[in-house]
Amino acid sequence: MGVSMSTERTVLVTGSTDGIGRRTAEKLAGPGVHLLVHGRSAERGAAVVEDVERAGASATFLEADLSSLAGVRALADSVLARCERLDVLVNNAGISKPSAPREVTVDGFESHLAINYLASFLLTRLLQPLLGTSRVVNVVSAAQDALDFDDLMLERGYSGFRAYGQSKLAQVMLTLDLAAEGVTANCLHPGTHLDTTMVRAAGIRPAGTADSGAAAVVALATADGISGRYFDARRESRAHPQAYDEQARERLDAEARRLTALDR
């Protein structure tokens, strides 16, 4: 059953054709809700749209590859063309390849930082004119590593675990920046080793369900009076200390703006 929401609410969940994202979209679906379903597969997108519409919501599938800045901008353009406002934005799409060698995107960026952080940063900033009183939820992780501003792309001594950890901490820092600017924004670690394609592909035995992670995301997406918080599932917690360093956040924001050419 979907969550009851007021009429004509528009919700965008990135990476919503599989795993936690799909279950989040399905849980948020209901009468008076329009779901913007995002993914890279039109076939899987159609299946989610069907499920969402069966729950009484309307839905649109938006295909985009967030591994490129052009793909992020194309997704933002599609949303801006369709919507006058966005009530909920869930930045869920991401990757985790702890055992793989270092990879770079088409833009030349380390893949974890590019897809997990820069994509959500750029998308959120481009959609900011639509946010208003909306809620932003960033799906992060308890695995957080301090950012090395002298080697953000981890060209020296690469570790997939560290790449993932710093990209997720960067998302936490984005969340706190948005909250400081007056946007209702929160982030959460949805659960450890949940049963998702990403976890199974990493050769990890799932320790929880995607449904439980989605329930925690939905709780934040529908909560009132909460902003600038980090949650471990449904329990408020503390992120890595660097997240609360305002100078570090300012430095990261400036670097993200430069890398994404946001202000050009």
Residue listed under structure tokens 């670097």: 255
What are the DSSP E strand ranges found in 79-128?
88-91
CB environment 212-244: b (16+ within 10 A), e (fewer):
bbbbbbbbbbeeeeebebbbbbeeeeebbebbe
Straight-line distance from the first to the last Cα atom of the chain, in angstroms, rounded to the nearest whole number: 44
How many whole angstroms separate alpha carbon 232 and alpha carbon 247? 25
Please pick, among 117, 158, 164, 244, the residue that the annotation labels catalytic.
164
How many whole angstroms separate alpha carbon 2 and alpha carbon 100? 37
Does the annotation mark 164 as catalytic?
yes
**Which residues participate in catalysis according to the annotation?**
164
